[in-house]
A and B are shown apart, each in its own frame.
Chain A
Amino acid sequence: MSATVVAASGGEPVGTEPRAPASKRDLWIVFWIFPTFFGLFGVIFVLLARVIPPPRPDVTTDQKVQWFASHATTIQIGFAAVCVVFGGAAIANGYVAYQMKRMTSGPTFAYAYMGAMAVGTLPGLLLVALCFSAATFRPDREPRISAMLYDLGMLSFNGSLGCFATGYLAFAIAILYDKNQIFPKWLAYVSIWQIVTEVIATQMWVSSAGPYAWNGSIAFWLAVIVFGFWLNCQGIFLKFATDRQPAGSRPAD
Protein backbone atom coordinates (compact mmCIF):
# COMPACT_ATOMS: atom_id res chain seq x y z
CA MET A 1 0.00 0.00 0.00
CA SER A 2 2.71 2.40 1.05
CA ALA A 3 4.53 1.57 -2.13
CA THR A 4 1.85 2.95 -4.38
CA VAL A 5 1.30 6.07 -2.29
CA VAL A 6 4.95 6.99 -2.33
CA ALA A 7 5.20 6.09 -5.96
CA ALA A 8 2.44 8.52 -6.80
CA SER A 9 4.03 11.38 -4.86
CA GLY A 10 7.65 10.60 -5.67
CA GLY A 11 7.18 9.63 -9.31
CA GLU A 12 7.57 11.73 -12.37
CA PRO A 13 4.95 14.49 -12.67
CA VAL A 14 3.21 12.71 -15.45
CA GLY A 15 -0.17 14.36 -15.18
CA THR A 16 1.18 17.90 -14.80
CA GLU A 17 3.39 17.86 -17.87
CA PRO A 18 1.67 19.61 -20.73
CA ARG A 19 3.04 17.15 -23.28
CA ALA A 20 2.30 14.18 -21.01
CA PRO A 21 5.31 11.99 -21.75
CA ALA A 22 5.26 8.29 -21.11
CA SER A 23 4.79 7.33 -17.46
CA LYS A 24 7.38 5.80 -15.14
CA ARG A 25 4.80 4.86 -12.54
CA ASP A 26 5.38 1.12 -13.04
CA LEU A 27 9.11 1.59 -12.37
CA TRP A 28 8.49 3.55 -9.19
CA ILE A 29 5.98 1.05 -7.84
CA VAL A 30 8.44 -1.78 -8.33
CA PHE A 31 11.34 0.32 -7.06
CA TRP A 32 9.59 1.05 -3.75
CA ILE A 33 9.11 -2.67 -3.17
CA PHE A 34 12.90 -2.81 -2.71
CA PRO A 35 13.13 -0.69 0.49
CA THR A 36 9.71 -1.90 1.66
CA PHE A 37 10.71 -5.54 1.40
CA PHE A 38 14.08 -5.12 3.09
CA GLY A 39 12.50 -2.98 5.82
CA LEU A 40 9.94 -5.70 6.53
CA PHE A 41 12.68 -8.31 6.30
CA GLY A 42 14.55 -6.49 9.07
CA VAL A 43 11.46 -6.19 11.27
CA ILE A 44 10.52 -9.86 10.79
CA PHE A 45 13.96 -11.30 11.40
CA VAL A 46 14.95 -9.00 14.27
CA LEU A 47 11.71 -8.65 16.20
CA LEU A 48 9.71 -11.75 15.30
CA ALA A 49 11.83 -14.68 14.15
CA ARG A 50 14.58 -13.58 16.58
CA VAL A 51 17.46 -14.65 14.34
CA ILE A 52 19.17 -11.21 14.44
CA PRO A 53 21.01 -10.80 16.75
CA PRO A 54 21.65 -14.55 16.49
CA PRO A 55 20.88 -16.78 19.47
CA ARG A 56 23.99 -18.46 20.88
CA PRO A 57 25.36 -21.61 19.22
CA ASP A 58 27.20 -22.76 22.36
CA VAL A 59 24.17 -23.68 24.50
CA THR A 60 22.79 -27.02 25.70
CA THR A 61 19.88 -28.90 24.16
CA ASP A 62 17.61 -27.88 27.06
CA GLN A 63 18.49 -24.23 26.58
CA LYS A 64 17.61 -24.49 22.89
CA VAL A 65 14.22 -26.01 23.71
CA GLN A 66 13.68 -23.30 26.30
CA TRP A 67 14.58 -20.65 23.72
CA PHE A 68 11.90 -21.94 21.33
CA ALA A 69 9.36 -22.04 24.18
CA SER A 70 9.95 -18.44 25.14
CA HIS A 71 9.77 -17.13 21.55
CA ALA A 72 7.10 -19.47 20.11
CA THR A 73 4.45 -16.80 19.50
CA THR A 74 6.69 -14.27 17.78
CA ILE A 75 8.30 -17.00 15.66
CA GLN A 76 4.88 -18.12 14.42
CA ILE A 77 3.75 -14.57 13.66
CA GLY A 78 7.10 -14.03 11.94
CA PHE A 79 6.61 -17.08 9.74
CA ALA A 80 3.17 -15.90 8.69
CA ALA A 81 4.71 -12.55 7.76
CA VAL A 82 7.51 -14.26 5.82
CA CYS A 83 4.91 -16.09 3.74
CA VAL A 84 3.30 -12.78 2.79
CA VAL A 85 6.48 -10.84 1.91
CA PHE A 86 8.84 -13.60 0.71
CA GLY A 87 8.09 -12.84 -2.94
CA GLY A 88 9.36 -9.31 -2.37
CA ALA A 89 12.91 -10.70 -2.44
CA ALA A 90 12.40 -11.84 -6.03
CA ILE A 91 10.91 -8.46 -7.02
CA ALA A 92 13.72 -6.49 -5.34
CA ASN A 93 16.40 -8.58 -7.04
CA GLY A 94 14.42 -8.63 -10.28
CA TYR A 95 14.29 -4.84 -10.37
CA VAL A 96 18.06 -4.66 -9.85
CA ALA A 97 18.32 -7.06 -12.81
CA TYR A 98 15.99 -4.80 -14.84
CA GLN A 99 18.28 -1.82 -14.27
CA MET A 100 21.31 -4.01 -15.00
CA LYS A 101 19.79 -4.70 -18.43
CA ARG A 102 20.25 -1.00 -19.21
CA MET A 103 24.01 -1.43 -18.85
CA THR A 104 26.26 -1.68 -21.89
CA SER A 105 27.52 -4.96 -20.43
CA GLY A 106 24.29 -6.52 -21.71
CA PRO A 107 21.45 -8.52 -20.18
CA THR A 108 23.41 -11.75 -19.60
CA PHE A 109 24.86 -10.55 -16.29
CA ALA A 110 21.42 -9.33 -15.27
CA TYR A 111 19.94 -12.80 -15.71
CA ALA A 112 22.97 -14.35 -13.98
CA TYR A 113 22.44 -11.99 -11.03
CA MET A 114 18.72 -12.67 -10.83
CA GLY A 115 19.13 -16.45 -10.95
CA ALA A 116 21.99 -16.56 -8.47
CA MET A 117 20.17 -14.35 -5.97
CA ALA A 118 17.05 -16.52 -6.27
CA VAL A 119 19.10 -19.60 -5.34
CA GLY A 120 20.60 -17.90 -2.29
CA THR A 121 17.25 -16.69 -0.97
CA LEU A 122 15.87 -20.16 -0.28
CA PRO A 123 18.42 -21.29 2.34
CA GLY A 124 19.21 -17.72 3.35
CA LEU A 125 15.68 -16.58 4.09
CA LEU A 126 13.00 -19.24 3.89
CA LEU A 127 14.56 -22.31 5.48
CA VAL A 128 15.20 -20.74 8.90
CA ALA A 129 11.55 -19.71 9.09
CA LEU A 130 10.47 -23.26 8.22
CA CYS A 131 12.81 -24.83 10.80
CA PHE A 132 11.86 -22.52 13.63
CA SER A 133 8.15 -22.76 12.87
CA ALA A 134 8.35 -26.55 12.77
CA ALA A 135 10.13 -26.50 16.15
CA THR A 136 7.40 -24.40 17.75
CA PHE A 137 4.65 -26.53 16.16
CA ARG A 138 5.20 -29.37 18.66
CA PRO A 139 6.73 -28.01 21.87
CA ASP A 140 6.62 -31.52 23.38
CA ARG A 141 8.83 -32.94 20.65
CA GLU A 142 11.93 -34.87 21.63
CA PRO A 143 14.44 -32.14 22.74
CA ARG A 144 17.33 -33.27 20.58
CA ILE A 145 15.17 -32.92 17.45
CA SER A 146 14.24 -29.37 18.45
CA ALA A 147 17.95 -28.71 19.02
CA MET A 148 18.67 -29.98 15.52
CA LEU A 149 16.07 -27.58 14.05
CA TYR A 150 17.75 -24.75 16.02
CA ASP A 151 21.15 -25.58 14.50
CA LEU A 152 19.77 -26.23 11.02
CA GLY A 153 17.82 -22.96 11.01
CA MET A 154 20.73 -20.81 12.11
CA LEU A 155 23.33 -22.55 9.95
CA SER A 156 21.04 -22.23 6.97
CA PHE A 157 20.31 -18.55 7.65
CA ASN A 158 23.91 -17.43 8.25
CA GLY A 159 26.03 -20.28 6.90
CA SER A 160 24.56 -20.09 3.41
CA LEU A 161 25.66 -16.49 2.86
CA GLY A 162 28.25 -17.77 0.38
CA CYS A 163 25.38 -18.83 -1.91
CA PHE A 164 24.97 -15.16 -2.84
CA ALA A 165 28.63 -14.86 -3.89
CA THR A 166 27.95 -15.78 -7.54
CA GLY A 167 25.27 -13.10 -7.75
CA TYR A 168 27.60 -10.45 -6.32
CA LEU A 169 30.30 -11.49 -8.79
CA ALA A 170 27.89 -11.09 -11.73
CA PHE A 171 26.83 -7.69 -10.34
CA ALA A 172 30.45 -6.55 -9.92
CA ILE A 173 31.57 -7.66 -13.39
CA ALA A 174 28.53 -6.05 -15.01
CA ILE A 175 29.28 -2.71 -13.32
CA LEU A 176 32.95 -2.79 -14.28
CA TYR A 177 32.09 -3.41 -17.96
CA ASP A 178 29.22 -0.93 -18.06
CA LYS A 179 29.74 2.42 -19.74
CA ASN A 180 26.27 3.83 -19.01
CA GLN A 181 27.21 4.19 -15.33
CA ILE A 182 23.92 2.77 -14.10
CA PHE A 183 25.73 1.95 -10.84
CA PRO A 184 29.01 3.61 -9.73
CA LYS A 185 32.21 1.65 -10.21
CA TRP A 186 33.00 1.60 -6.51
CA LEU A 187 29.82 -0.37 -5.84
CA ALA A 188 31.46 -3.19 -7.81
CA TYR A 189 34.37 -3.09 -5.37
CA VAL A 190 31.99 -3.12 -2.40
CA SER A 191 30.35 -6.21 -3.96
CA ILE A 192 33.75 -7.88 -3.88
CA TRP A 193 33.96 -7.22 -0.12
CA GLN A 194 30.58 -8.88 0.11
CA ILE A 195 31.96 -12.01 -1.54
CA VAL A 196 34.95 -12.06 0.80
CA THR A 197 33.03 -11.55 4.05
CA GLU A 198 30.38 -14.07 3.09
CA VAL A 199 32.88 -16.74 2.14
CA ILE A 200 34.54 -16.21 5.54
CA ALA A 201 31.12 -16.85 7.10
CA THR A 202 31.42 -20.50 6.01
CA GLN A 203 33.72 -20.98 9.01
CA MET A 204 30.65 -21.06 11.24
CA TRP A 205 30.13 -24.65 10.04
CA VAL A 206 33.23 -25.74 11.97
CA SER A 207 33.22 -23.24 14.83
CA SER A 208 30.57 -23.29 17.55
CA ALA A 209 31.97 -20.44 19.68
CA GLY A 210 34.21 -17.40 19.26
CA PRO A 211 34.65 -14.93 16.40
CA TYR A 212 33.92 -17.50 13.66
CA ALA A 213 30.73 -18.93 15.17
CA TRP A 214 27.34 -18.02 13.66
CA ASN A 215 27.05 -15.17 16.17
CA GLY A 216 30.76 -14.31 15.97
CA SER A 217 32.30 -10.88 15.45
CA ILE A 218 34.00 -11.90 12.19
CA ALA A 219 31.73 -14.56 10.70
CA PHE A 220 28.52 -12.67 11.45
CA TRP A 221 28.82 -9.06 12.61
CA LEU A 222 31.48 -7.81 10.20
CA ALA A 223 29.67 -9.55 7.34
CA VAL A 224 26.36 -7.98 8.37
CA ILE A 225 27.86 -4.49 8.58
CA VAL A 226 29.31 -4.83 5.08
CA PHE A 227 25.99 -6.25 3.83
CA GLY A 228 24.03 -3.38 5.38
CA PHE A 229 26.32 -0.81 3.77
CA TRP A 230 26.19 -2.58 0.40
CA LEU A 231 22.40 -2.98 0.46
CA ASN A 232 21.81 0.67 1.33
CA CYS A 233 24.16 1.78 -1.45
CA GLN A 234 22.44 -0.55 -3.91
CA GLY A 235 19.03 0.83 -2.93
CA ILE A 236 20.14 4.46 -3.20
CA PHE A 237 21.73 3.97 -6.61
CA LEU A 238 18.73 1.98 -7.77
CA LYS A 239 16.69 5.10 -7.04
CA PHE A 240 19.15 7.30 -8.96
CA ALA A 241 19.06 4.85 -11.88
CA THR A 242 15.25 5.01 -11.90
CA ASP A 243 15.42 8.81 -11.75
CA ARG A 244 17.71 8.96 -14.75
CA GLN A 245 15.89 6.41 -16.89
CA PRO A 246 14.02 8.29 -19.62
CA ALA A 247 10.28 7.81 -19.38
CA GLY A 248 8.93 5.44 -21.99
CA SER A 249 12.29 3.80 -22.58
CA ARG A 250 12.95 0.17 -21.84
CA PRO A 251 16.09 -1.97 -22.00
CA ALA A 252 16.59 -4.36 -24.87
CA ASP A 253 15.76 -7.99 -24.13
Chain B
Amino acid sequence: MTNTEPTALTAEQTDHADRRQRGTHLPGDGHMWLMVLGDLIIFGGYFIVYMVQRAMAPAAYLQAQQHLSITIGVLNTVVLVTSSWFVAQAVRAAADADYERAVRLIYGGGACGVLFIGVKAYEWTMKITQGYTNSNEFFMFYYMLTGVHMFHVALGVLILGIVVRELRNPRRRRPSMVEQGATYWHMVDLLWLVIFGLLYVMR
Protein backbone atom coordinates (compact mmCIF):
# COMPACT_ATOMS: atom_id res chain seq x y z
CA MET B 1 0.00 0.00 0.00
CA THR B 2 3.05 2.21 -0.06
CA ASN B 3 2.89 2.85 -3.76
CA THR B 4 -0.38 4.78 -3.87
CA GLU B 5 0.90 7.77 -5.80
CA PRO B 6 -1.47 10.67 -6.29
CA THR B 7 -1.88 9.78 -9.98
CA ALA B 8 -2.93 6.22 -9.12
CA LEU B 9 -6.49 7.12 -8.18
CA THR B 10 -7.80 8.14 -11.55
CA ALA B 11 -11.38 8.97 -12.40
CA GLU B 12 -11.77 5.48 -13.85
CA GLN B 13 -10.69 3.89 -10.60
CA THR B 14 -13.07 5.98 -8.53
CA ASP B 15 -15.88 5.08 -10.89
CA HIS B 16 -14.81 1.42 -10.77
CA ALA B 17 -14.95 1.34 -6.97
CA ASP B 18 -18.26 3.13 -7.02
CA ARG B 19 -19.85 0.62 -9.39
CA ARG B 20 -18.47 -2.28 -7.37
CA GLN B 21 -20.21 -0.94 -4.31
CA ARG B 22 -23.49 -0.50 -6.11
CA GLY B 23 -23.30 -4.05 -7.49
CA THR B 24 -23.71 -2.90 -11.11
CA HIS B 25 -20.10 -3.53 -12.05
CA LEU B 26 -19.28 -5.85 -14.97
CA PRO B 27 -15.83 -7.35 -14.37
CA GLY B 28 -13.57 -6.97 -17.40
CA ASP B 29 -15.29 -5.79 -20.57
CA GLY B 30 -18.15 -6.93 -22.81
CA HIS B 31 -15.80 -8.13 -25.54
CA MET B 32 -14.17 -10.63 -23.20
CA TRP B 33 -17.55 -11.81 -21.93
CA LEU B 34 -18.65 -12.47 -25.47
CA MET B 35 -15.50 -14.55 -25.95
CA VAL B 36 -16.14 -16.45 -22.72
CA LEU B 37 -19.83 -17.16 -23.35
CA GLY B 38 -19.17 -18.12 -26.98
CA ASP B 39 -16.34 -20.40 -25.93
CA LEU B 40 -18.61 -22.08 -23.38
CA ILE B 41 -21.23 -22.66 -26.10
CA ILE B 42 -18.66 -24.21 -28.47
CA PHE B 43 -17.19 -26.41 -25.74
CA GLY B 44 -20.75 -27.26 -24.71
CA GLY B 45 -21.25 -28.55 -28.26
CA TYR B 46 -18.13 -30.71 -27.98
CA PHE B 47 -19.27 -32.08 -24.62
CA ILE B 48 -22.71 -32.99 -25.96
CA VAL B 49 -21.24 -34.79 -28.98
CA TYR B 50 -18.85 -36.65 -26.67
CA MET B 51 -21.69 -37.75 -24.40
CA VAL B 52 -23.79 -38.90 -27.36
CA GLN B 53 -20.91 -40.88 -28.88
CA ARG B 54 -20.07 -42.34 -25.48
CA ALA B 55 -23.66 -43.41 -24.92
CA MET B 56 -23.53 -45.35 -28.19
CA ALA B 57 -20.49 -47.42 -27.14
CA PRO B 58 -20.17 -47.18 -23.34
CA ALA B 59 -18.11 -50.36 -22.96
CA ALA B 60 -15.46 -49.31 -25.49
CA TYR B 61 -15.16 -45.83 -23.95
CA LEU B 62 -14.90 -47.25 -20.44
CA GLN B 63 -12.26 -49.71 -21.55
CA ALA B 64 -10.16 -46.99 -23.22
CA GLN B 65 -10.68 -44.66 -20.25
CA GLN B 66 -8.90 -47.17 -17.94
CA HIS B 67 -5.61 -46.18 -19.58
CA LEU B 68 -5.81 -42.59 -18.31
CA SER B 69 -4.07 -41.87 -15.02
CA ILE B 70 -6.55 -40.22 -12.68
CA THR B 71 -3.62 -39.15 -10.49
CA ILE B 72 -2.24 -36.95 -13.26
CA GLY B 73 -5.74 -35.60 -13.86
CA VAL B 74 -6.14 -34.69 -10.18
CA LEU B 75 -2.65 -33.15 -10.12
CA ASN B 76 -3.49 -30.92 -13.05
CA THR B 77 -6.83 -29.98 -11.49
CA VAL B 78 -5.09 -28.89 -8.30
CA VAL B 79 -2.52 -26.91 -10.30
CA LEU B 80 -5.19 -25.08 -12.27
CA VAL B 81 -7.47 -24.36 -9.31
CA THR B 82 -4.42 -22.97 -7.49
CA SER B 83 -3.67 -20.73 -10.47
CA SER B 84 -7.23 -19.39 -10.33
CA TRP B 85 -6.76 -18.61 -6.63
CA PHE B 86 -3.63 -16.57 -7.49
CA VAL B 87 -5.45 -14.70 -10.22
CA ALA B 88 -8.50 -14.01 -8.03
CA GLN B 89 -6.21 -12.60 -5.34
CA ALA B 90 -4.54 -10.45 -7.98
CA VAL B 91 -7.92 -8.93 -8.90
CA ARG B 92 -8.46 -8.01 -5.26
CA ALA B 93 -4.93 -6.55 -4.97
CA ALA B 94 -5.44 -4.46 -8.11
CA ALA B 95 -8.78 -3.18 -6.80
CA ASP B 96 -6.92 -2.02 -3.69
CA ALA B 97 -4.34 -0.33 -5.96
CA ASP B 98 -1.63 -2.66 -4.63
CA TYR B 99 -0.19 -3.28 -8.07
CA GLU B 100 3.11 -4.80 -7.01
CA ARG B 101 1.30 -7.55 -5.14
CA ALA B 102 -1.06 -8.00 -8.10
CA VAL B 103 1.90 -8.53 -10.44
CA ARG B 104 3.47 -11.09 -8.08
CA LEU B 105 0.18 -12.98 -7.81
CA ILE B 106 -0.30 -13.02 -11.57
CA TYR B 107 3.21 -14.43 -11.94
CA GLY B 108 2.09 -17.20 -9.58
CA GLY B 109 -1.02 -17.87 -11.67
CA GLY B 110 0.98 -17.88 -14.91
CA ALA B 111 3.59 -20.24 -13.45
CA CYS B 112 0.80 -22.69 -12.54
CA GLY B 113 -0.49 -22.40 -16.11
CA VAL B 114 2.93 -23.28 -17.50
CA LEU B 115 3.17 -26.18 -15.04
CA PHE B 116 -0.24 -27.40 -16.20
CA ILE B 117 0.97 -27.42 -19.81
CA GLY B 118 4.13 -29.26 -18.76
CA VAL B 119 2.18 -31.99 -16.95
CA LYS B 120 -0.21 -32.30 -19.89
CA ALA B 121 2.66 -32.57 -22.37
CA TYR B 122 4.18 -35.32 -20.21
CA GLU B 123 0.84 -37.15 -20.15
CA TRP B 124 0.44 -36.88 -23.94
CA THR B 125 3.98 -38.17 -24.46
CA MET B 126 3.31 -41.15 -22.19
CA LYS B 127 0.04 -41.99 -23.95
CA ILE B 128 1.51 -41.71 -27.42
CA THR B 129 4.52 -43.89 -26.57
CA GLN B 130 2.15 -46.45 -25.03
CA GLY B 131 0.36 -46.58 -28.38
CA TYR B 132 -2.89 -44.81 -27.45
CA THR B 133 -3.32 -42.56 -30.46
CA ASN B 134 -6.21 -40.83 -32.15
CA SER B 135 -7.10 -44.06 -33.98
CA ASN B 136 -9.22 -44.88 -30.91
CA GLU B 137 -12.40 -42.79 -30.68
CA PHE B 138 -12.11 -42.15 -26.94
CA PHE B 139 -8.51 -41.01 -27.37
CA MET B 140 -9.53 -38.89 -30.35
CA PHE B 141 -11.82 -37.00 -27.95
CA TYR B 142 -9.10 -37.02 -25.29
CA TYR B 143 -6.52 -35.40 -27.58
CA MET B 144 -9.03 -32.99 -29.10
CA LEU B 145 -10.58 -31.76 -25.84
CA THR B 146 -7.33 -31.56 -23.88
CA GLY B 147 -5.50 -30.12 -26.91
CA VAL B 148 -8.00 -27.32 -27.46
CA HIS B 149 -8.02 -26.68 -23.73
CA MET B 150 -4.22 -26.59 -23.63
CA PHE B 151 -4.30 -24.00 -26.43
CA HIS B 152 -6.64 -21.95 -24.23
CA VAL B 153 -4.24 -22.26 -21.30
CA ALA B 154 -1.35 -21.08 -23.51
CA LEU B 155 -3.47 -18.16 -24.69
CA GLY B 156 -4.31 -17.45 -21.03
CA VAL B 157 -0.63 -17.32 -20.11
CA LEU B 158 -0.13 -14.81 -22.94
CA ILE B 159 -3.08 -12.74 -21.68
CA LEU B 160 -1.67 -12.78 -18.13
CA GLY B 161 1.65 -11.60 -19.60
CA ILE B 162 -0.16 -8.67 -21.23
CA VAL B 163 -1.85 -7.89 -17.90
CA VAL B 164 1.56 -7.80 -16.19
CA ARG B 165 2.90 -5.48 -18.88
CA GLU B 166 -0.03 -3.09 -18.36
CA LEU B 167 0.25 -3.24 -14.56
CA ARG B 168 3.92 -2.31 -14.66
CA ASN B 169 3.17 0.90 -16.51
CA PRO B 170 1.81 3.42 -13.97
CA ARG B 171 -0.08 5.27 -16.71
CA ARG B 172 -1.84 2.19 -18.09
CA ARG B 173 -2.54 0.13 -14.98
CA ARG B 174 -6.23 -0.25 -14.21
CA PRO B 175 -8.31 -2.83 -12.32
CA SER B 176 -10.52 -3.60 -15.33
CA MET B 177 -7.51 -4.97 -17.23
CA VAL B 178 -6.78 -7.47 -14.44
CA GLU B 179 -10.45 -8.43 -14.30
CA GLN B 180 -10.46 -9.07 -18.02
CA GLY B 181 -7.53 -11.47 -17.74
CA ALA B 182 -9.09 -13.11 -14.69
CA THR B 183 -12.43 -13.59 -16.46
CA TYR B 184 -10.69 -15.50 -19.22
CA TRP B 185 -8.50 -17.44 -16.80
CA HIS B 186 -11.41 -18.62 -14.67
CA MET B 187 -13.19 -19.81 -17.82
CA VAL B 188 -10.14 -21.93 -18.67
CA ASP B 189 -10.31 -23.34 -15.16
CA LEU B 190 -14.04 -24.03 -15.38
CA LEU B 191 -13.65 -25.82 -18.72
CA TRP B 192 -10.93 -28.03 -17.29
CA LEU B 193 -13.17 -29.09 -14.40
CA VAL B 194 -15.79 -30.31 -16.90
CA ILE B 195 -13.19 -31.98 -19.15
CA PHE B 196 -11.63 -33.68 -16.13
CA GLY B 197 -15.03 -34.98 -15.08
CA LEU B 198 -15.97 -36.21 -18.53
CA LEU B 199 -12.69 -37.85 -19.53
CA TYR B 200 -11.14 -39.08 -16.30
CA VAL B 201 -13.91 -39.56 -13.76
CA MET B 202 -17.22 -40.39 -15.46
CA ARG B 203 -17.95 -44.10 -15.38
Contacts and interface: CB of A to CB of B under 8 A. Distances in A.
A98 interface: no
B35 A217 contact: no
Interface of B: 29-32, 34-35, 38-39, 42, 45-46, 49, 53, 134-135, 137, 140, 144, 148, 151, 155
A200 B155 CA distance: 17
Interface string A193-229: 1001100100100110011100001100010001000
10 contacts: A186-B30, A186-B35, A190-B35, A192-B35, A203-B144, A206-B134, A207-B140, A212-B140, A222-B46, A222-B49
Contact of A211 (B32, B42, B53): B53
B31 A186 contact: yes
Nearest to A210: B137
A203 B134 contact: yes
Contacts, number: 48
Nearest to B144: A200
A185 interface: yes
A124 B23 CA distance: 49
Contacts of A137: none
A67 interface: no
Interface size class of A (residues with CB under 8 A): 20 to 34
A121 B179 CA distance: 39
A184 B31 contact: yes
A206 B45 CA distance: 21
Main secondary structure of the interface of A (DSSP, over half): helix
A193 B38 contact: yes
Interface string A88-117: 000000000000000000000000000000
A226 B39 CA distance: 11
A211 B134 CA distance: 13
A184 to B, nearest CB: 7
A206 B42 contact: no
Contacts of A203: 134, 140, 144
B148 to A, nearest CB: 6
Interface in A168-193: 184-186, 189-190, 192-193
B45 A193 contact: no
Nearest to B134: A206
Nearest to A190: B38
Given A186-B34, A203-B134, A193 B42 contact: yes
Contacts of B148: 196, 200
Nearest to A197: B42
A199 to B, nearest CB: 8
